[in-house]
Homo-oligomer: A and B are copies of this chain.
Amino acid sequence: MSKPVCAVLGVGPGNGEAFARRFSEGGHAVALMARRGDVTDPLAAELPDARAYRCDAADAGDIERCFAEIRDEMGKVETLIYNAGSGIWGSVEEVSAEDFETCWRINAHGAFVASQQVIPAMKAAGGGNIVMIGATASRRGGPNSAAFAAGKAAQRSLAESMARHLWSAGIHVSLVIIDGIIDLERTRARMPDKPDDFFMAPADIAETVWQTSRQRRSAWSFEVEARPFGENW
């Protein structure tokens, strides 16, 4: 298989699916990684050279196993998009130590484990892309994001450490901060009065991820914001 491989860890309806479509359109064979197959299986059937993998981002062993399969079946990964996320909301008085751990494990620890799986081949190849998908909470701890923001902050710090370490080896590590509400069936249902303009289109976010991963290496971005024009920030 001569297409470059893009692995998307965390493919649900919305961003994950849009990333897969954009990179497929851009000429990649896409590894679609998700806990369940409801989105990934039909998508693998639709996109040329795509494959679906069952993968639980909370389980380091599972991530390792899954990347081994991808290497065997699709070859080395050229772009890793880490889109797994867990957003448990609540203040320090409301969330539990288990919630605090879950948010960190899926947002940060999984990103660490997945990155370690793809870095050696990228170094050998002299290039590659690792894009982590962050959120407003990556930058600050809100009163009701005690668990979620701590996980996202750890992810952001890891991405920054990796960028500083790996850029000079030609590996473009970046962090895309999504600062808005994504247009999904469930967000529309939760906010029925919001106009279309309020929501972020997954395809638009995917375009930003794509463009970031294609930047020429004399002018790379690390932290990239994606925010709807009508957002109050």
A-to-B contact residues, CB < 8 Å: 60, 91-93, 97, 100-101, 104, 108-109, 112-113, 115-116, 119, 137, 140-146, 149-162, 164-168, 170, 172, 180, 183, 197, 199-201, 204-205, 207-208, 211, 215-231, 233
Contact = CB atoms under 8 A, between A and B. Distances in A.
Contact of A92 (B137, B162, B219): B162
A105 to B, nearest CB: 9
Contact of A150 (B60, B140, B154, B218): B154
Could you say how many copies of this chain the assembly holds?
4
Contacts of A159: 141
A104 B108 contact: yes
B167 A142 contact: no
A97 to B, nearest CB: 6
B170 A157 contact: no
B172 A160 contact: no
Contacts of A215: 204, 207-208
Given A167-B230, A170-B229, A220-B228, A93 B108 contact: no
A-B residue pairs, 9 tightest by C-beta: A141-B161, A153-B157, A141-B160, A204-B219, A143-B165, A141-B157, A219-B226, A143-B164, A217-B229
A92 B116 contact: yes
A218 B199 contact: yes
B228 A217 contact: yes
Given A168-B229, A227-B220, A92 B115 contact: yes
Given A141-B160, A218-B201, A218-B229, A165 B100 contact: no
Residue from A145, A162, A222, A229 whose CB has the most chain B CB atoms within 10 Å: A229
